[in-house]
Structures are given as C-alpha cells and as structure tokens.
C-alpha cells in the first residue's frame, strides 16, 4: 500500500503541469495591479527583483549613470531568465513565477521616462501574461509535437535534486567529511519519509535537516572565533597594546548603509503595499517563488511548497540585506518570506495584512540585520554557499529534465536537437544564461520538430 502511494506521488509529479493557465477575474486584476506597482517602484529606484541589478542602482540614484544605461544593464541581466526560464517554467507548470512577472517590470520601470508611464507599462505586461499565456498554452497543446506536456518531465529531477542543495553547501564550506555525513543523513531521511509518510514530498524533511545542520556548523564556527578574538584582545590589553585591544575603526560603509536604510524607511507605506500584493498573489496559488515550488503549487502541495521557499530564505537574506543597504534599493519580494506565508494562509485578507506587516518588519530591521551579519562572517559565507548550491543543483536538474522532455517529444532526434542547442550555447560563450539555456532549447526544439512534422520528415513519438 505504501509503495503504491509512493508511485502515486511520483506519477503526480510528472503531471505537475496540468494546472490551467486560465485565471479568474480577481487573479487577473491582482497580477496586473502588482505588475503596475512593481514597475512604479522600479522606476523610483526603490526596489528591483534582479539581485544582479541592485548594486547598479546606487549610481543611478546618485545621478552618476543615466536611465538608458541602467535599463541596458537590467535588460542584459534579465532577458535570458525571462524568456529562457520564466516563460518555459510557467508553461510547463501552469503556475506563474517571479522571473516572468518581476524581471520585465524591473526593465519597464527603469526604462520609463515618466513616473506616470511606469505603472501603465507594468500593468500592460501583467495583462499580456494573464491574457496571452493561456492562449499560447492552449495553442501549443494542439500541435502535433506537444512540447509543453513533454516539459512536465522536468518536474521530477527538479524536485528531487533540489533536495541536495544543503549537502553541496556543507561540503563546499565545511569539507568532504561533514558534507558526506549530511548526504547520508538526507538520503536516509528521504527513504524514511517515502516509507513512513508517503503522502508528503519526500525531500521536505531532508532539506529542513540539511539547512539546520549547515546553520549549526556556521554559528558554532562564528562563536568559537569570537571567543578566540576576545581572548586575543584580553591578552593585548594585559600587554598594554591599546590599539590591538580596542575595537576597529568605524567602517566607512556605515554612513552609506545608514543613508540607504533611511531612504528605504521613508517609503515604508509603499513597501507595505508591495508586500501585501506579493503575499496576496502567493495566497491565490497561481504563483510559485521558485522552480521546485512552481511544480509543488501545481500539484496542490502548498505546505511542501512553503517549506521549500522557507529554506531558500536563508540563502538570500544576507545578499538582499547587504545589497539593499549598499544601494538604497530593496528587493521586490523582500527576503521572500511572504512567499511561504502566502501559500499557507486561508484568506486573501489575511495575506494582505500579513504581507504588509512582514515587509514593515523587514524594512525597519534592515540596519540591525546588517550589523548582526557583520558579526557572523561564517553565516554570511553559508548564505553564499547556499545560493551557489541552489544554482548548481537546479542547473543539473533543469538540464537533465530538459533532456528527458526532449526524449519524450522526439526520442533520439529530440535529444540531439535540445542537447545540441545547449552545447552550442556553451561553445558560443553562453549567449543564453546557463540556467535558462536548456528550457529555451526545449522550446526551440519543439518548434523545429513541429516544422519537421509538417514537412513530413518526422513522426511524433507516441506516449
């Protein structure tokens, strides 16, 4: 009976993309309004979604670079993720994602020369998504080679390989022995979960334990280092070396951090409205904050989706906090805590209230959080390792899943086309960013296979 339940979970994972892209009126209005708001906030240089764009915002805020130049940077860093990852993931899972919604509004907001035009452009993009994506989805499913259904093959490797990101982070930061132990623990937990609790996502408990192990190692290292530092200062004081015994000189970045935090706090009501909107969208269950989360939301596993996005928070809080304090521009999704909170809340009104309160706390706590992170270097390093591990595990999962999709829609020829496009992109210096290259290759490969079918040169694989 348990084995049968496990098989059911694996089968439902493969069917994750069956969720419809037809939105209710309330969902349509929420997406359009939120895209308008995020474009307006981006225009004001108050927040952007792309972490790579945020460091460039300080020069823009201080007038050292032009709006056109900043737009070019934002588009260059975002285009691959929009068309190579955001759109394919939405079509494959049937769930919206931040790359499809918020990266374009970053670009449109910065591009807009007038304050009033930014929300109009953002709202227009939201309308394109909610009214156009469903039509594109329906059209693609009518093609002889249904590459969107084939792309649902990506869900299984994404969900299960993503489970290993804490193991990778522990190995990179604390060595092979601790990483190997964490790997054995996670594997055991996945197996036990599949046998004991067959109706829940097997990686949920494993990821939780892995992240806790990583944080425990990091905190222990920082506490040990602080004890050693205090001992060194005590020795220096006893020897009369006042310079070594005293605190280091004030960090010259402190004044910049203080000014940036003050700038962000001035617009607190606007950030609260942003938090309310993002949390509301997550509560509607038509939006997932990550690759794995999108497929879990599509399957209706909201508690598991909340767990996955909650664990990701630990990898992004230090990055978002430091870049916000350095640039004066916050993140569109904040620390992304509004994602898991939204998934779990039963009422839209509770989501609006909770999202506003969460963003208020985040904005008001920025300065304090920056100081705390300054005293915990190993925790900051763990954040970097977590982000890299997430990227590495998802890159492999997406590549493997894309080849599975290629096999489903075209057999060996499909693998040749999709794999060949991916390798060509690598050889050309990654014209499309690595994470997005494989899903983009599946879309292009699907179009090519349909053209070959219409030319009577290819017979679709029967499944």
Taking CB atoms within 8 Å and a gap of at least 24, the contacts of 254-259 are: 256/325, 256/326, 257/325, 257/326, 257/367, 257/370, 258/367, 259/328
CA–CA separation, 158 vs 400, rounded Å?
A: 9
User: Is residue 206 included in any domain, yes or no?
Assistant: no
pLDDT (mean) for 283-288: 96
Q: What is the pLDDT of residues 244-275, one digit of tens each?
A: 555 544 454 455 577 888 899 999 999 999 99
* The pLDDT of residue 462: 64
Q: What is the pLDDT of residues 391-429, one digit of tens each?
A: 899 999 999 999 999 999 999 999 999 999 999 999 999
* The pLDDT of residue 2: 43
Provide the number of structural domains found in the chain: 1
* Contact assessment for residue 75 and residue 107, using Cβ atoms and an 8 Å cutoff: yes
* The pLDDT of residue 1: 39
Give 170-211 as a 3 state SS string: HHHHHCHHHHHHHHHHHHHHHHHHHHHCCCCCCHHHHHHHHH
* The pLDDT of residue 255: 55
Mean pLDDT of the chain: 87
* The pLDDT of residue 200: 78
Cβ partners under 8 Å of residue 392, min gap 6 = 165, 168
Go through the chain and tell me how many residues it has. Answer: 463
Cβ partners under 8 Å of residue 191, min gap 6 = none
User: Is residue 305 included in any domain, yes or no?
Assistant: yes
* The pLDDT of residue 137: 83
User: Is residue 393 included in any domain, yes or no?
Assistant: yes
User: Is residue 284 included in any domain, yes or no?
Assistant: yes
pLDDT (mean) for 146-150: 87
User: Is residue 234 included in any domain, yes or no?
Assistant: no
For residue 159, the enclosing domain spans: 2-168+251-454
pLDDT (mean) for 329-348: 95
Say if residue 20's pLDDT is above 70.
no
User: Is residue 371 included in any domain, yes or no?
Assistant: yes
* The pLDDT of residue 323: 85
User: Is residue 209 included in any domain, yes or no?
Assistant: no
The pTM of the full predicted model, rounded to 2 decimals, is: 0.85
Q: What is the pLDDT of residues 197-236, one digit of tens each?
A: 887 788 888 988 998 899 899 888 888 888 887 777 777 6
Least confident of 5-14, 181-190, 345-354, 432-441: 5-14
User: Is residue 300 included in any domain, yes or no?
Assistant: yes
CA–CA separation, 49 vs 237, rounded Å?
A: 47
* Contact assessment for residue 257 and residue 370, using Cβ atoms and an 8 Å cutoff: yes
Q: Give the residue from 37, 77, 57 showing the smallest Cα distance to 323.
A: 57
Question: DSSP string spanning 53-87?
Answer: TGGGHHHHHTTSS-HHHHHHHHHHHHHHHIIIIIH
- Binned at pLDDT 50, 70 and 90, residue 241 comes out as low
Q: Find the angle CA(168)-CA(221)-CA(363) to the nearest 5 degrees.
A: 80
Q: Which residues of 331-356 are buried (b: 16+ CB within 10 A; e: fewer)?
A: bbbbbbbbbbbbbbbeebebbbbbbb
* Contact assessment for residue 386 and residue 170, using Cβ atoms and an 8 Å cutoff: no
Residue with tokens 């769930």: 95
């Amino acid at each position: 009976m348990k084995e049968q339940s496990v098989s059911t979970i694996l089968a439902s994972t493969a069917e994750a993309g069956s969720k419809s892209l037809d939105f209710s009126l309330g969902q349509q209005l929420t997406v359009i309004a939120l895209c308008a708001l995020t474009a307006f906030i981006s225009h004001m240089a108050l927040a952007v979604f792309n972490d790579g764009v945020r460091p460039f915002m300080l020069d823009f805020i201080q007038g050292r670079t032009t709006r056109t130049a900043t737009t070019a940077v934002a588009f260059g860093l975002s285009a691959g993720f929009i068309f190579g990852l955001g759109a394919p993931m939405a079509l494959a899972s049937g769930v919206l994602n931040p790359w499809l919604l918020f990266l374009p509004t970053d670009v449109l907001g910065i591009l807009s020369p007038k304050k009033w035009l930014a929300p109009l452009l953002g709202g227009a993009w939201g309308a394109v998504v909610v009214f156009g994506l469903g039509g594109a989805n329906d059209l693609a499913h009518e093609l002889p080679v249904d590459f969107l259904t084939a792309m649902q093959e990506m869900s299984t490797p994404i969900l299960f390989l993503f489970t290993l990101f804490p193991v990778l982070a522990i190995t990179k930061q604390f060595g092979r022995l601790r990483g190997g132990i964490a790997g054995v623990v996670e594997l055991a937990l996945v197996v036990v979960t599949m046998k004991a609790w067959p109706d829940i996502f097997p990686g949920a408990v494993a990821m939780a334990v892995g992240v806790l192990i990583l944080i425990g190692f990091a905190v222990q290292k920082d506490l040990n280092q602080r004890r050693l530092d205090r001992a060194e200062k005590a020795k220096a004081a006893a020897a009369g070396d006042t310079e070594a015994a005293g605190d280091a000189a004030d960090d010259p970045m402190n004044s910049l951090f203080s000014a940036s935090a003050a700038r962000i706090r001035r617009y607190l009501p606007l950030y609260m409205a942003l938090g309310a909107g993002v949390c509301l969208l997550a509560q509607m269950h038509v939006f997932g904050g990550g690759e794995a989360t999108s497929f879990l939301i599509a399957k209706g596993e909201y508690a598991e989706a909340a767990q996955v996005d909650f664990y990701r928070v630990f990898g992004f809080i230090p990055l978002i906090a430091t870049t916000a304090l350095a640039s004066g521009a916050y993140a569109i999704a904040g620390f992304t805590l509004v994602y898991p909170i939204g998934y779990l809340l039963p009422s839209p009104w509770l989501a609006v209230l909770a999202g506003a309160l969460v963003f208020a706390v985040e904005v008001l706590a920025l300065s304090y959080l920056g100081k705390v992170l300054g005293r915990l270097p190993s925790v900051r390093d763990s954040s970097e390792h977590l982000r890299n591990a997430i990227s590495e595990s998802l890159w492999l999962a997406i590549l493997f899943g894309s080849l599975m999709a290629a096999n489903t829609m075209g057999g060996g020829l499909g693998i040749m086309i999709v794999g060949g496009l991916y390798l060509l992109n690598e050889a050309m210096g990654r014209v499309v960013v690595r994470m997005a290259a494989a899903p983009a290759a599946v879309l292009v490969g699907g179009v090519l296979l349909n053209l070959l079918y219409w030319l009577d040169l290819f017979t679709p694989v029967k499944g």
